[in-house]
Amino acid sequence: TGIVDETQQMAFADANLMQESRVNQKFVNLIETMRSKSLIDQVSYQLILHDLTSDKPFKELTVLYENGLNKAAIDHAIDVYREKYKNREALNLRDPDQAGLATVLGWMEYDSGSILWGLSTFRLGASDFIHLDFESQNAEISAFVVNAISREFILDYTNLVKENQRASVEFLQAIIKVK
């Protein structure tokens, strides 16, 4: 007939807009997860452990020695950082020992604030890609940080999905038992 019902077009436009809004919100959440303190802490531990245990550290360790750290203190730091990384834990800043280890991260500019300062994360247009960039004085550190964030994010996201699936199965099993 040539007559167009504008209300149907409006309904489809609203549905598309809502879908696009949901997708955008999911990407915002993914990016915030990549920038979360818990994820960045894992990257911090990897950076400091690399420098403390590698024959070719990214940065010179002179700042640590200048601030009074000796071999025993560094060995202790390695143990604590490894444990925190393994258990995916933050340093407890109320514990003087761990607060000191947080200071060490700051001296090396491996603390979360320093990493976030150099980190750029954004969605590439309307694509399914997230761009990660880390700016530092050392290209090896930049590549290491981007790769570590990517690995940690994939690990965290995979664990989250598995946990949600497990919770859903438990919920459905509980419903079945009730019936």
- What is the model's pLDDT at position 60? 93
Structure tokens at 77: 């730091």
Buried b (16+ CB within 10 A) or exposed e, 117-143: eebebebeeeeeeeebebebeeeebbe
* Res 115 pLDDT > 70: yes
Helix, strand and coil content of the chain, in percent to the nearest 5, comes to 70, 5, 25
For 52-90, what is each residue's pLDDT tens digit? Answer: 999 999 999 999 999 999 999 999 999 999 999 999 999
Collapsing DSSP to helix, strand or coil, 123 comes out as strand
For 154-174, what is each residue's pLDDT tens digit? Answer: 998 888 888 878 888 887 788
Share of the chain above pLDDT 70, in %: 89
- What is the model's pLDDT at position 1? 38
Buried b (16+ CB within 10 A) or exposed e, 49-79: bbbbeeeeebbeeeebeeeebeeebbeebee
User: Whose CA is closest to 65, among 51, 46, 44, 79?
Assistant: 51
For 126-141, what is each residue's pLDDT tens digit? Answer: 888 889 999 999 999 9
Structure tokens at 135: 């700016």
Q: Is this structure's pTM higher than 0.75? A: yes
